[in-house]
């Protein structure tokens, strides 16, 4: 009897625990996106949230992402197809825009118009993109010099338009009504030392300005980095947009910082911030916000929670990344929005066969390395683990060509087919910038080969492995592991890339029959 009673009470205990387990499974988890989505700016229009982010040298650029719950996001548009046609963005004359391009967009909605602004150290310009239809466009572009670093645009209630920017010392200007430039004589110092709430010993002065107005009070978000600390959120407030501003240290937890405020239709408040997380990149967090004495209080007693009272994530596929069989129905674009080119594409050298389902990359010039090659097509890697798989047909390659699947960053790795000395072979290459630091080869016995790259971002291990297969079923590993590193020369999380470049004769082509991305690896 005692045994039966003990069994009965054990069952009751398990049953009592089930609601909390089920409830936890239905909650969102931080990070809400385990992929490189840095420098976010966010707005809410009705019950729909829109977010933009930095993608720098990628084209199209400044992605527009949509969500109905702050957790599950999908790309619905881009602010531009090509930001500018300069040599750096076209990978011409030995120049590039790695780590540059466009940074830190600011998103606004005002009087029925959507605004997304950004700046570029590559062109030394500030860009403002506008549209009435954020999901379908068209977008209008305005640009002027100089490039205002990490700026925020603000439409005030009196109709005046302001921009705040700077590093350490923050400045404010007033823009012309048509946004064509700065009103002469309006530049002024807004805050002399915005890093001050974090102390006097600062390694990275305050930057990343984002301005909000809540119940008549202006709140300015920035980050800074104390020498003996981590990336930190600073918030200033004022009753007048021109100040004076008082500031506080608002959050110092695991380096989760840089972003701003968003409210829900139900009146709840959150902060959207990101965290540097190794080679996968800078990953977004959503942080609950309460209000005390007119200040936003971020997190729970200074800690960003792992669980959120928001709907659970449905995964990044197909919202931020997605597989592609390259088959297209009538009316569908050649490339889904999850794809971005590494620098500006050269349209005459790529083609989608919509019926047979393949991407053809044709070489248009001679290049000496993967990072110099144009028309590399990319998608983000995702954490905590992921794999990218493709199949490439190489019968159209020419002597000196190299085509395949890469993991793109300054310290990069790739696996593919190299045509050399009249023969094709499988080659796995590790490179530091433009310099090859390791290569292993295998015999190629067919004109079609399956390729795979696996990424392990768990606990910042940041390791990748490369494989090939004759049939997509049985895989053989080739070459050493790639120790992935997030490097400032590129300033971007690793991306999968489909590539083909020529080292001897232009005009060869490679056909990629699909790209698959999975949230799993084989080890």
Model confidence over 207-241: pLDDT tens digits? 999 999 999 999 999 999 999 899 999 999 999 99
What is the distance between the alpha carbons of residues 515 and 342, in angstroms, rounded to a whole number?
17
User: Mean pLDDT across the stretch 126-151?
Assistant: 97
The average confidence (pLDDT) of the chain is 95
Mean pLDDT of 144-164: 97
Token pair, residue 470, equals 């004759």
Per DSSP (E only), the strands in 293-395 are 295-298, 307-311, 340-342, 350-353, 358-362, 377-380, 385-393
Q: Are residues 294 and 380 in the same domain?
A: no
User: Do 403 and 292 fall into the same domain?
Assistant: no
Residue 81 maps to a domain: yes
Same domain? For 458 and 502 the reply is yes
Boundary of a domain, candidates 305, 328, 351: 305
* CA angle, residues 515, 519, 523, in degrees to nearest 5: 105
Are 207 and 71 within one domain? yes
SS3 state of residue 87: coil
* Cα(236)–Cα(250) distance, integer angstroms: 9
Domain hosting 76: range is 22-305
C-alpha distances in angstroms, 315 versus 69, 322, 444?
13, 11, 36
The answer to whether residues 32 and 169 belong to one domain is: yes
Give bridge partners of residue 418 from the DSSP assignment.
402, 425
| pLDDT band for position 327 (cuts 50, 70, 90) | very high
How many folded domains does the chain comprise? 2
Task: Give yes or no: residues 289 and 383 share one domain.
Answer: no
Q: Are residues 50 and 184 in the same domain?
A: yes
User: Both 277 and 373 in a single domain?
Assistant: no
User: pLDDT (tens digit, 9 = 90+) per residue, 475-499?
Assistant: 999 999 999 999 999 999 999 999 9
Binned at pLDDT 50, 70 and 90, residue 1 comes out as very low
Please report, rounded to a whole number, the percentage of residues in the chain having pLDDT higher than 70.
Answer: 95
Please choose, from the candidates 459, 466, 463, 456, the residue with its C-alpha nearest in 3D space to the C-alpha of residue 485.
463
């Amino acid at each position: 009897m005692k045994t039966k009673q003990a069994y009965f009470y054990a069952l009751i205990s398990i049953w009592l625990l089930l609601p909390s387990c089920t409830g936890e499974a239905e909650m969102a988890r931080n990070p809400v996106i385990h992929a490189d989505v840095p420098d976010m700016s966010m707005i809410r229009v009705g019950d729909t949230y829109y977010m933009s982010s930095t993608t720098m040298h990628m084209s199209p650029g400044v992605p527009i992402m949509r969500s109905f719950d702050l957790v599950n996001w999908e790309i619905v548009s881009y602010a531009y197809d090509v930001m500018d046609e300069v040599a750096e963005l076209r990978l011409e004359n030995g120049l590039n825009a790695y780590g540059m391009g466009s940074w830190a967009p600011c998103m606004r909605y005002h009087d029925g118009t959507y605004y997304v602004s950004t700046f570029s150290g590559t062109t030394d310009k500030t860009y403002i993109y506008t549209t009435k239809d954020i999901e379908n466009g068209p977008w209008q572009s305005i640009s002027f010099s100089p490039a205002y670093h990490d700026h925020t645009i603000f439409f005030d209630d009196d109709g005046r338009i302001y921009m705040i920017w700077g590093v350490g010392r923050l400045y404010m200007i007033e823009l012309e009504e048509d946004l064509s430039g700065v009103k002469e004589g309006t530049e002024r110092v807004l805050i002399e030392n915005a890093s001050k709430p974090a102390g006097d010993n600062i390694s990275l002065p305050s930057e990343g300005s984002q301005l909000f107005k809540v119940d008549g009070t202006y709140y300015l978000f920035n980050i800074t980095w104390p020498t003996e600390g981590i990336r930190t959120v600073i918030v200033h407030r004022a009753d007048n947009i021109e100040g004076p501003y008082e500031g506080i240290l608002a959050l110092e937890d695991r380096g989760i910082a840089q972003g701003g405020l968003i409210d829900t239709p139900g009146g709840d408040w959150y902060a959207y911030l990101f965290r540097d997380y190794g080679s996968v990149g800078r990953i977004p967090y959503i942080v609950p916000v309460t209000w005390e004495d007119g200040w936003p209080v971020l997190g729970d007693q200074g800690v960003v929670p792992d669980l959120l009272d928001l709907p659970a994530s449905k995964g990044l596929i197909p919202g931020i990344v997605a597989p592609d069989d390259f088959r297209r129905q009538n009316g569908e674009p050649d490339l889904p929005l999850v794809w971005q080119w590494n620098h500006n594409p050269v349209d005459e050298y790529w083609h989608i066969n919509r019926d047979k389902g393949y991407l053809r990359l044709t070489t248009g010039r001679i290049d000496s390395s993967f990072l110099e090659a144009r028309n590399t097509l990319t998608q983000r890697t995702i954490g905590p683990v992921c794999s990218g798989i493709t199949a490439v047909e190489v019968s159209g390659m020419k002597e000196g060509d190299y085509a395949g699947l890469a993991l793109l960053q300054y310290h990069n790795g790739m696996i593919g087919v190299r045509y050399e000395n009249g023969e094709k072979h499988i080659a796995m290459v590790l490179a530091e910038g433009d310099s090859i630091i390791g290569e292993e080869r295998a015999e190629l016995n067919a004109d079609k080969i399956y390729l795979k790259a696996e990424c392990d971002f768990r606990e910042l291990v940041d390791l990748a492995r490369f494989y090939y297969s004759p049939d997509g079923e049985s895989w053989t590993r080739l070459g050493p592991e790639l120790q992935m590193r997030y490097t400032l020369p590129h300033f971007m999380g690793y991306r999968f890339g489909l590539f083909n470049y020529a080292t001897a004769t232009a005009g060869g082509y490679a056909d990629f029959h699909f790209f698959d991305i999975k949230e799993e690896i084989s080890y």
